[in-house]
Amino acid sequence: QEHSFKFQSSDPAGNPNFEFQQGWADLVAEKSEGAIEIEILPVGSVVEYNETLDAVAAGILDGQICDSSYWAGKDPAFGLISNPVGAWSDPEQMIDFVENGGGKELMQELLGSYGLQFIGVSTPGLEAFVSRVPLEGVDDLNGVKMRAPEGPVANVFSAAGASPVNLPSSEVYTSLDKGVVDAADYSVFSVNHQQGLNEIAPHPVYPGFHSLPLVEVSMNKTKWDALPDDMKTLLEETVKEFQQTQINGNREADEAALAEAEVDPNITVHNWSEEERAKFRKLGVAEWERIASQSPMAQKVFDTLTAHLQEKGMLE
Amino acid sequence: MELGFNLQALGIEWGTALMFGMLIALLLTGMPLAFVTLLVALIFALGWFGPMSIPLITSRVYSFVMNFVFVSVPMFVLMAAILDRSGIARDLFDAMKLFAGRVRGSVAIQTVFVSVILAAMSGIIGGEIVLLGLLALPQMLRLGYDRSLAIGVVCAGGSLGTMIPPSIVLIIYGLTANVSIGDLFTASFLPGFMLAMFYCAYILARAYLTPGAVPDIDPTPVPREEKLRLLKGLALPILVVFMVLGSIYGGIASVTEASAIGVGGVLLSTVLRGEFSYKLLRDAAMQTLATVGMIVWIGIGATAIVGVYNLMGGVDFVSGMITGISDNPTVIVLVMMAILFVLGAFLDWVGIALLTMPIFVPIITELGMDPVWFGVLFCMNMQVSFLSPPFGPAAFYLKSVAPPDISLGLIFRSLLPFIALQILAVGLLIAFPGITGR
Amino acid sequence: MTKDQREGEIDLVAITEGAARIAPEAGLMGRMVDRVAYIFAAGIVIAAAVLLMEVFLRYLLNRPTIWAHETTVFLCGLAFTFGGLYCTSRNSHIRVVLIYDWLPNGVRRVFNVIISIISAIASAFFAYAAWHMVTRAVWAPSGEIRLETTGSAWSPPTPALIKIFVFVIMILLVVQFLILAVNYARRAKG
Ligand code: NA
Ligand code: NA
């Protein structure tokens, strides 16, 4: 092959999302007729998940496939663009924003300043919420101890009256099982279900309301610039294919898991009404404004995002 | 920048061989383990990828020291350091006299019981061996116990701290393998007790079968009031066990937080006993810093080399080699155990866990075996590493407090039967995975 | 038993008993490290107290904080990093003494000098690499100073602070290893 790249994923080997990413690498090899070979490394294999941006910039890794909110500590704008809490209720909405609503350009501006090239976007889908206690709406979150994800999501939950607790993912299962926390942000419904979380915390909220992560595929800019144009196009096109495979694959898996959960007498799946979702979104928007004030790029993300939502009539 | 050497030309096979050879050779010079691994990681980063890759090592160092789960290490060490300086363990030892009963070898049995309770309080070894070396060993020697039996009981018993939950070996395994630490703790209860019972059975066998191995039974009965007074010594240790394990299983705290609860429990005990002083806390904290520095920097060195080796594509190579050995999963597990035994003779368990688990655990999962069971198996295997020469931390700890006429050679010889019992336990866990309850 | 074998044992006593014993070869710097160590040891105790407080607030008052865990991680991260320098000054890093112990005194001194110099060189490379890490954590691409934060709800600048601290410790390690090398060499001659 002419080009050989190492991309580190933020998913562990064996995770369904990791398999979809490997599928992308296979697709690239096939479409480029072996000219580009991409090796996907599991999370933590070369550097920790929250250090890959620096590693790609330094040329240690060639690229990364990861949640962009990990870079919120470098610029709050990453936190806002990757997870504007409450903005999206469907993966296609987020992808439309990135591909046609100015998101792509923002991502490139953000990543470009660190020496990275944004290739494309994907997402595992709308995350489901795991809970031991029945939650029918925002008011029920009051006083709920929950494992909160990194990033601005914790603030929104705080505003809703919940008590976010910071726990490593390896302690989520035990802590839920023993009741150290009542609820948790973890992953999409199928993954939660497969890991047994819905059994120990039998009141999942599906579809979720809190998080639809933006997963970026990006690489070292110098190495990108050295690629011929047709190869650049090929990479961008294949990411779009990978993105559709991942979203559809996870959606099917979610539906299968949901069917299983619904017949399980111990599990009650809760679905929030539109009013409750809107209430939560409102809390989210307040948080967007707070983040926007933290950096010029965050303000730019906020302006572009709200303009897009307004245009689509999604901001009432 | 051209450095004049290109290791990449060696290919992964010879690269691996060179890396391993370099590690062993440097280790034997007496260079500190942490810097051996850091240096080899540096040489390979430079020689395989060039200078731009060295930040990978510092990035891993940073991530390693900023890990929340690792917070439990200083907590358990601090707890043991405070315990060392209080009379809690001495009173516990006296109290256990009542339970060992009037059998031959009762003081040795009593020592194992004390070990089990200390093990259920804390998650490390070291402090426990020193404590038992100061409490139990002189008493057994004075009463006329066979020297090697007494030494073996103290070292093997003191090592139980990482086999019976809580345990930092299981915590680090859970972190590396990304499996639930709570599940690991639950699964290790029975195997830990099983191992302790093996020690008791061995003591009884020696006591009743080898003439002169233990003294005759002391016929004077303990008066009732004395019994009650001794029993009090049990209260505070049980309280600490209850606080640590109770907070985990009762849903009050995460595993990491429970280690801090242990510190609180032991401190509270010293206050209740009127032993607490500023000096006690300061000395314990200073000792903790020194011990933690050693443990964490071994981990830092290991994590550095793992990162470089991963980027070289080494993990795929080694796992390919291991899975290529046989189609029989049991054979593969046995090979892994053999590798761990050998590494355990030379390296510290932290290094072993970080070097091998990223390779072994995915293989185990792929073979359809249970990673929690494998974690308990790994933990049991590391029991051997504490005792096996030439690098046997348990022996070193005991040597530091034993009478001068007890040489390291004698200690290691005394440990052989106990190593055999530990290997038996490893074998049983492989043959009957059900012992872990999984 | 040679004198050095006894020294080896004394190190082990130092490990288990915690009596502050700085290696004489570490010189003035070693004694200073020992003084400063107190702060980081206190950090561990504070970390334990913060975690205890967090459990108390969450379990009894149902009011967990957003800062307890990140504070604990930061305090322990400082202690872990400093611990490497502390053990170097105390010469208490774990080593395999299988062959080392059998070497004649003179040869062992030469080994000590060489090991210290090599370790100093390695630490210098790591200091250089840590500097790269620091530049990314302290300066934004635009060139202005912005300390990298954790990006959490509380978002303290602890990542940047720890990265700076790793850099400082790497430099101090270079100095300490060089002092050790010089003093071993002196003793070898004298
Ligand atoms: Na234990
Ligand atoms: Na050993």
pLDDT in tens, B259-288: 999 999 999 999 999 999 999 999 999 999
Half-sphere exposure for B163 (CA within 13 Å, toward CB): 28
Please tell me the distance in Å from C143's CA to the nearest CA on chain B: 20
What's the rounded Cα separation, in Å, for the pair B195 and B348?
A: 21
pLDDT over 70 (residue A213): yes
Q: Is B131 exposed, middle or buried (0-12, 13-18, 19+ CB in 10 A)?
A: buried
Asked if C73 and B67 touch (Cβ cutoff 8 Å), the reply is yes
CA distances from A100 to A92, A105, A118, A122, C117 (A): 11, 9, 15, 14, 58
Predicted confidence at residue C189, as pLDDT, reads: 62
pLDDT over 60 (residue B222): yes
Structure-token match 């801090």, residue found: B260
Asked if C162 and C81 touch (Cβ cutoff 8 Å), the reply is yes
**pLDDT confidence of B157, banded at 50, 70, 90?**
very high
Question: What is the DSSP-derived secondary structure letter of residue B32?
Answer: B
What's the rounded Cα separation, in Å, for the pair A263 and A259?
A: 7
**Residue of C46, C25, C21, C47 whose CA lies nearest to C34:** C21
Among candidates B29, B74, B282 on the partner chain, residue whose Cβ is nearest the Cβ of C79:
B74
Asked if C44 and B288 touch (Cβ cutoff 8 Å), the reply is yes
**pLDDT confidence of A1, banded at 50, 70, 90?**
low
**pLDDT confidence of A316, banded at 50, 70, 90?**
low
**pLDDT confidence of B248, banded at 50, 70, 90?**
confident
- Name the closest residue on chain C to residue B29, using Cα atoms: C100
Predicted confidence at residue B417, as pLDDT, reads: 97
Pairing verdict, β A145-147 and A215-220: unpaired
pLDDT over 70 (residue C190): no
Structure-token match 């993954």, residue found: A191
**Residue of B141, B152, B167 whose CA lies nearest to B200:** B152
- Name the closest residue on chain B to residue C11, using Cα atoms: B400
pLDDT over 70 (residue A162): yes
Neighbours of A139 (CB within 10 A): 11
- Name the closest residue on chain B to residue C39, using Cα atoms: B286
- C159 CB neighbours in chain A (<8 A) are 73
Predicted confidence at residue B304, as pLDDT, reads: 92
Lowest mean pLDDT of A9-18, A251-260, A268-277, B412-421, name the range. Answer: A9-18
**pLDDT confidence of C15, banded at 50, 70, 90?**
very low
What's the rounded Cα separation, in Å, for the pair A102 and A99?
A: 7
Report, as an integer, the average pLDDT of C114-142. 94
Predicted confidence at residue C6, as pLDDT, reads: 34
Give the strands of the sheet with A183-185, arranged side by side: A129-131, A183-185, A145-147, A163-165
Half-sphere exposure for A203 (CA within 13 Å, toward CB): 13
Q: Which bound ligand lies closest to the C-alpha atom of B184?
A: 1
Predicted confidence at residue B1, as pLDDT, reads: 42
pLDDT over 70 (residue C14): no
**pLDDT confidence of C9, banded at 50, 70, 90?**
very low
Asked if B173 and B379 touch (Cβ cutoff 8 Å), the reply is yes
**pLDDT confidence of C12, banded at 50, 70, 90?**
very low
Give the highest mean pLDDT range of A163-177, B126-140, B276-290, B341-355: B276-290
Predicted confidence at residue C4, as pLDDT, reads: 36
Predicted confidence at residue B430, as pLDDT, reads: 96
Which secondary-structure segment (H or E) carries A133?
A: none
- Longest CA span, chain B: 81
Q: What does the buried/exposed string (b/e) look like for B244-283 if buried means 16 or more CB atoms within 10 Å of the residue's CB?
A: bbbbbbebbbbbbbbbbbbbbbbbebbeeeeebeeebbeb
B193 touches chain A (CB under 8 A): no
Asked if B168 and B292 touch (Cβ cutoff 8 Å), the reply is no
pLDDT over 60 (residue B224): yes
pLDDT over 90 (residue C147): yes
pLDDT over 80 (residue A152): no
Predicted confidence at residue C188, as pLDDT, reads: 62
Neighbours of C106 (CB within 10 A): 9
Q: Give me the sign of the Cα torsion angle A267, A273, A279, A280.
A: positive
pLDDT over 60 (residue A313): yes
Q: Do B310 and A46 touch (CB under 8 A)?
A: yes
Which conformational region is residue B368 in: left (phi greater than 0), alpha (psi within -120 to 50 degrees), or beta?
A: left
- B255 CB neighbours in chain A (<8 A) are 171, 174
In the complex, which subunits touch A with 3 or more CB pairs below 8 angstroms?
Answer: B, C
pLDDT in tens, B365-392: 889 999 999 999 999 999 999 999 888 8
What's the rounded Cα separation, in Å, for the pair A145 and A111?
A: 35
Q: Do C76 and B282 touch (CB under 8 A)?
A: no
Predicted confidence at residue C11, as pLDDT, reads: 37
Paired strand residues for A38: A5
Q: Give me the sign of the Cα torsion angle B433, B322, B383, B365.
A: negative
Q: Is B435 exposed, middle or buried (0-12, 13-18, 19+ CB in 10 A)?
A: middle
Q: Enter the tokens of residue B167.
A: 């345990």
CA distances from A50 to A9, B67, B141, B313, C68 (A): 11, 12, 55, 21, 20
What's the rounded Cα separation, in Å, for the pair B158 and B113?
A: 10
Please give the span between the terminal C-alpha atoms of chain C, in angstroms, as a whole number. Answer: 22
pLDDT in tens, B44-78: 999 999 999 999 999 999 999 998 878 988 998 89
Pairing verdict, β A183-185 and A215-220: unpaired
C71 touches chain B (CB under 8 A): no
Instruction: Give the mutation candidate from B54, B310, B359, B360 for the A interface (greatest A CB count, under 10 A).
Output: B310
Q: Do A150 and C150 touch (CB under 8 A)?
A: yes
- Name the closest residue on chain B to residue A46, using Cα atoms: B307
What's the rounded Cα separation, in Å, for the pair B154 and B46?
A: 46
Predicted confidence at residue C7, as pLDDT, reads: 34
Q: What rounded mean pLDDT belongs to chain A?
A: 91
Paired strand residues for C95: B32
Structure-model confidence comparison of residues B320 and C4, the more confident one: B320
CA distances from B194 to A39, B189, B190, B387, B421 (A): 45, 9, 6, 18, 10
Report, as an integer, the average pLDDT of C149-160. 88
Lowest mean pLDDT of A291-305, B187-201, C16-30, name the range. Answer: C16-30
Which secondary-structure segment (H or E) carries A279?
A: helix A274-292
What's the rounded Cα separation, in Å, for the pair C111 and C93?
A: 16
**Residue of A241, A43, A244 whose CA lies nearest to A125:** A244
Pairing verdict, β A145-147 and A163-165: parallel
Report, as an integer, the average pLDDT of A215-241. 97
In the complex, which subunits touch B with 3 or more CB pairs below 8 angstroms?
Answer: A, C
What's the rounded Cα separation, in Å, for the pair A196 and A173?
A: 8
**pLDDT confidence of B393, banded at 50, 70, 90?**
confident
Instruction: Give the mutation candidate from C11, C21, C44, C161 for the B interface (greatest B CB count, under 10 A).
Output: C44
Among candidates A39, A47, A177 on the partner chain, residue whose Cβ is nearest the Cβ of B307:
A47
What's the rounded Cα separation, in Å, for the pair B325 and C159?
A: 43
Among candidates A13, A58, A178 on the partner chain, residue whose Cβ is nearest the Cβ of B250:
A178
CA angle B291/B296/B298 to nearest 5° reads: 100
Structure-token match 């009965």, residue found: B221
Q: What rounded mean pLDDT belongs to chain C?
A: 85
What's the rounded Cα separation, in Å, for the pair B384 and A215?
A: 45
In chain B, % of residues over pLDDT 90? 53
Q: Do A55 and B56 touch (CB under 8 A)?
A: yes
Asked if A238 and A148 touch (Cβ cutoff 8 Å), the reply is no
Please give the interface size between A and B, counted as residue pairs whose CB atoms are below 8 Å apart. Answer: 87
Predicted confidence at residue B100, as pLDDT, reads: 73
Please give the interface size between A and C, counted as residue pairs whose CB atoms are below 8 Å apart. Answer: 59
The three-state secondary structure class of A50 is helix
The domains of chain C are located at 3-189
C39 touches chain B (CB under 8 A): no
**pLDDT confidence of B219, banded at 50, 70, 90?**
confident
pLDDT in tens, A236-289: 999 999 999 999 999 999 999 999 999 999 999 999 998 898 888 888 888 999
Predicted confidence at residue A75, as pLDDT, reads: 93
